[in-house]
Amino acid sequence: MPLGIVLLLVWLVLLVRFPRVMLPVSGVLAGLGLLLALFVVGRQWLDDRHADQLLFQISYTPESCDFGRPLRVAIDNQSGRTASNIRWRLHATQPGFNTNLLDLNTTDATFRLEQALEPGQSWISCYRVPPLRSGFRAPDLNYRAEGIRADFSR
């Protein structure tokens, strides 16, 4: 932070002292900064668009999972790119309500899949249910993935 302040002060002194030279240089630097910002925003938009094509199906099915891991997570990559380093947050709600019932004081309920998923490929695994707020039972809740992030490559 102090380096940024020093650079800003030096730029202001040079702008006041040599305005004829510094105005065009400032314009070029502002243009390059704008191009960089547009590139970053465009890249983020493309990644979000591809992440929207990762379909998650999360259900409480102890009969189809190992003991102690009743939360079945299935991910289907319907994007045209390979997805890797997939990250998501689990959200558990009562039917008809929107409040997250996971006890976020004891866990952040963030999961990660480091395996790469090719386009059209599916992945299934079972997880343990994170701690819930008191008074709620895991079989009675709806589960979904939020904050989905992934790295995409061709």
Q: What pLDDT score does 72 carry?
A: 95
CATH topology of domain 54-153: Immunoglobulin-like (2.60.40)
% helix, strand, coil for the chain, step of 5: 35, 35, 30
The structure tokens listed for 10 are: 């030096």
Q: Is-contact 110 71, C-beta < 8 A?
A: no
Tokens 């004891």 — which residue?
A: 106
Q: Is-contact 114 154, C-beta < 8 A?
A: no
Query: How much is the average pLDDT of 87-113?
Result: 88
Residue 1 pLDDT grade (very low, low, confident, very high; cuts 50, 70, 90): low
Judged against a pLDDT cut of 80, whether residue 106 lies above it is answered with no
The structure tokens listed for 18 are: 């040599």
Judged against a pLDDT cut of 90, whether residue 58 lies above it is answered with yes
User: What digits encode the pLDDT tens for the residues 91-102?
Assistant: 999 999 999 998
The structure tokens listed for 140 are: 């009675």
Q: What pLDDT score does 154 carry?
A: 76
Domain ranges of the chain: 2-49, 54-153
